[in-house]
Amino acid sequence: MVRSDILRKRYAKRRIDGIIHDNLASVSKSLGPQQALERLLVYVPNRTDLLSPMPLGGEPSWTRAAYFFKGLVALAHNQAHWLRDVSTWKTTGESPRRQFGSLARHLLADHAVPNFMDLVWFIDPSKEARRKQKWFRHIGRGGGINGTDIPVRLTKLMVHHFMHAPDHYTVEEAFRWGQVRGFGGEPALVHAVNSTRLARDFDHEAYRAKVIEFFVHQAELVIGHVELVGPIVEYLRFQKHFYKLEPPLPEKRKAVIRLLEQVAKWQPPTRATSSTPSIRWDSMGIKGLKYDETQRWSHRTWTIRELLDSNELVMEGRVMRHCVARYVGRCAKQRSSIWSMTCYSCLEPVGNGIPWSYR
């Protein structure tokens, strides 16, 4: 072995030892987790190579060990829920991830847990990480995923597909796998959906489930334009976020084709509305209006609402191509009040891929 290889191995070992030392210090205030982590460090290195330096994918050789050590720390923090001691664990699986998964199931599960759930142990410590680790424990005790505080509503069929999601999926991607497959969609559509923000965001989930069902019902057209799945999601999100309404989803083939054409032409504004507007002001106290107009062959929803932050004024100006954004200062000082009237038609998208909006 050349000297450079020896130095790299020594450096990697020092990095791993430093990571272990720092984490032992971080759990020292909790006697249970500290003792659990110490026991893991006694048995895991003797039975696996999880904490050994090993090059992987061009990364430094110590990064893989640091990754799996993060999982051991998470298991130690769940020591109060251990069903068995680590000393009775018999290693199964050839790959490091399978070995870690067998350890997690030995400690916390009496029933089968999907392999993709292993990823919950490698999330940075947070409330969300503890929440997902609780899902792992719940399934491992024989409970159904619907018995937890998941952000989606799954039917029994969707739960079945969720439990059989691909091993490399995150939990969020597995939720979408269960939904799409439960609605009758094909794996190709799941992959398209999971390439969008739907695999990460679960706000307004009732409407997002409708969007997923729309994709499934129109799979023949959508799969033929799979590159538009992401733009459709962004198009609908922009309308919902900016216009404060749920855009109608077309059902007829011609309307769906027109939607695809509109989305293909639509360009999202360069300055999208942010979650923290630069300037926000109070309402003038005048109530807005929402009016549903139903005719024989169509349904329209009209709204009139006050714009209450600078981003909304900017977006309104870009959509309508006028200078309303110049009134930010006057609105902030309560000298002016700017309102937007919009119309949604359930027949087809109108305008340039954006609902009618005029003042």
* Tens of pLDDT, residues 125-184: 899 999 999 999 999 999 999 999 999 999 999 999 999 999 999 999 999 999 999 999
The residue ranking higher by pLDDT, 194 or 358, is: 194
- Whether residue 305 lies inside any domain: the answer is no
- Whether residue 17 lies inside any domain: the answer is yes
Angle value at C-alpha 259, between 325 and 289, nearest 5 degrees: 50
Is the model's pLDDT at 231 over the cut of 60? yes
Q: What is the pLDDT of residue 174?
A: 97
Residue ranges making up the domain that contains 73: 3-147
- Whether residue 30 lies inside any domain: the answer is yes
- Whether residue 233 lies inside any domain: the answer is no
- Residue type at 271? R
How many domains does the chain divide into?
A: 1
The residue ranking higher by pLDDT, 255 or 318, is: 255
- Whether residue 141 lies inside any domain: the answer is yes
Looking at the chain, the whole-number percentage of residues with pLDDT higher than 90 is 36
Name residues whose C-beta falls within 8 Å of residue 207's C-beta, 6 or more positions apart in sequence: 240, 246
Q: What is the pLDDT of residue 325?
A: 75
The answer to whether 100 touches 107, Cβ cutoff 8 Å, is no
- Mean per-residue pLDDT, 22-30: 64
Q: What is the pLDDT of residue 158?
A: 96
- Whether residue 192 lies inside any domain: the answer is no
- Whether residue 243 lies inside any domain: the answer is no
In which band, very low, low, confident or very high, does the pLDDT at 28 lie, cut at 50, 70 and 90? low
When the pLDDT of each residue in the chain is averaged and rounded to a whole number, the result is: 81
- Whether residue 214 lies inside any domain: the answer is no
What does the pLDDT look like over 287-344, one tens digit per residue?
888 877 766 555 667 788 888 887 777 777 766 767 777 788 788 878 888 888 877 6
Q: What is the pLDDT of residue 7?
A: 60
